[in-house]
Structure 1
Amino acid sequence: MATAPSRDHDRRISPVFLGIVAVMAVSGWAVWTSYASSRGLAVFLFVTSAWVVSLCLHEYAHARTALHGGDITIGAKGYLTLNPLKYTHALLSIVLPVLFVIMGGIGLPGGAVFIERGRIRGRWRHSLISAAGPLTNVAFALVCTAPFWLHALDGVPDDFRAALAFLALLQVTAALLNFLPVPGLDGYGIIEPWLSHAARRQVEPFAPFGLLAVFGLLWIPEVNQEFFRLIYAILDGLGVPDVAAATGRSLYQFWPDLSATPQS
Structure 2
Amino acid sequence: MRIWRATGASVQGTYHQQIGLPNQDAIGSSAVEGSEVTLALADGHGSARCYRSDRGSAFAVEAALSVAGQFTARTDPAALISGGREFLRAGICTAIVGRWRELVNRDLISRGETDLSTASRYDEIADLLLPYGSTLLTVIATQHYLLYLQLGDGDILTVSQEGTIERPLERDPRLYGNQTTSLCLPEAANDFYTAVTSVNAGMPSAILLATDGLVNSYRSETEFQNAARRLFIEDQHLTELLARISSMGSGDDITVGMLHLHAG
Would you call these one fold, judging by a TM-score over 0.5? no
More helix by share: 1
| Higher-Rg member (1/2) | 1
Q: Under a length normalisation based on structure 1, what TM-score does the superposition of the two structures give?
A: 0.28
